Amino acid sequence: MTIKHFDQSNETASATPHFNPFRLQRILLVAGDFEVSTLNAEGLREAGYHVSTAANGIVAWDAIQVSNFDLVITDQFLPGFSGVELIQKIYDAHLDLPVIMATGLLPTWEFILHPGLNSITMLKKPYTTAKLLSLVEIALDKVLAKPEKVVPASYQVPSERQEPRAVSC
């Protein structure tokens, strides 16, 4: 198991990713703290992502089962069941769904109890919206690079060099 840790001390200065109206990625944001959830959801939406929120692990798991998400961002300490338990459910269901765990306390003991967890990215609180957006872009770029997750050509923005094509009716 590989756990990548990110915190403020190793954060590099970078501009907030610009709004991209052509993003199709759907993110499930799971946080028990309403203020944190609202702030993060607002930042993600302003960057062009489609965001759904869940206030606990049970609601999050229900949402994952009925909707297609490209990324889950979860806290560890949630009502219902923990972020690690949510990740374990995702793993047990064989879902190819990247996860970012944003938490104040690293749940090392939880990973000992659940050794089969896939690699996840850990984001230690407190963090900036810019850092969160940077990690989201990295995680989603990896998803889009996989052949089964490639965005259909009809949704891709034409490059500046392409000449417009005439459409016959």
Half-sphere exposure of 164 (CA within 13 A, CB side): 3
pTM of the complete model: 0.71
- The structural domains of the chain, ordered by start, are 3-11+23-153 (3.40.50.2300)
Sheet holding 26-30, edge to edge: 3-6, 120-124, 99-103, 71-74, 26-30, 50-54
Chain centroid to CA 165: 36
Would you write out the chain's pLDDT as a tens digit for each of its 169 residues? 344 444 443 433 334 444 454 557 899 999 989 999 999 999 999 999 999 999 999 999 999 999 999 999 999 889 988 888 898 899 889 998 999 999 887 667 776 776 656 567 888 889 999 999 999 999 998 776 665 544 444 444 444 444 444 444 4
Residues 100 and 79: beta-carbon distance below 8 Å: no
- Non-local (6+) Cβ contacts of 92 within 8 A are none
Q: What local confidence, expressed as pLDDT, does residue 162 receive?
A: 42
